[in-house]
Amino acid sequence: MNFWVYENWTIDKAIVHKATCSYCNDGAGIHRDSSHKNSEWHGPFSERGDAFKKADDTKRKDIRGCKSCAP
């Protein structure tokens, strides 16, 4: 299973998702025409721990697993 990190610098968060999560869509997200002005997807990571390490490395205020897919 792969994991992705959604980083949004506008609202200062980094959220770890399973690739199969409906919010992640294997790093494509839910907004197909995203401009990347406010956010970026990092990954894929084959290990959950590596995804959380990347999330920690962003130094965002809100770092956690997705509440829907709960990795």
Query: What is the reported pLDDT for 4?
Result: 97
Q: Is residue 71 part of a domain?
A: no
Q: Is residue 23 part of a domain?
A: yes
Task: Give the domain extent around 34.
Answer: 3-65
Name the pLDDT band for 70 (thresholds 50, 70, 90). Answer: confident
Q: Is residue 70 part of a domain?
A: no
Domain count, the chain: 1
Q: Is residue 45 part of a domain?
A: yes
Q: Is residue 34 part of a domain?
A: yes
pTM of the model: 0.92
Query: What is the reported pLDDT for 35?
Result: 61
Q: Give per-residue pLDDT as tens, 14-48.
A: 999 999 999 999 999 987 666 678 899 999 999 99
Q: Is residue 14 part of a domain?
A: yes
Q: In what order do the strands lie in the sheet with 39-45?
A: 39-45, 3-8, 13-18, 62-65
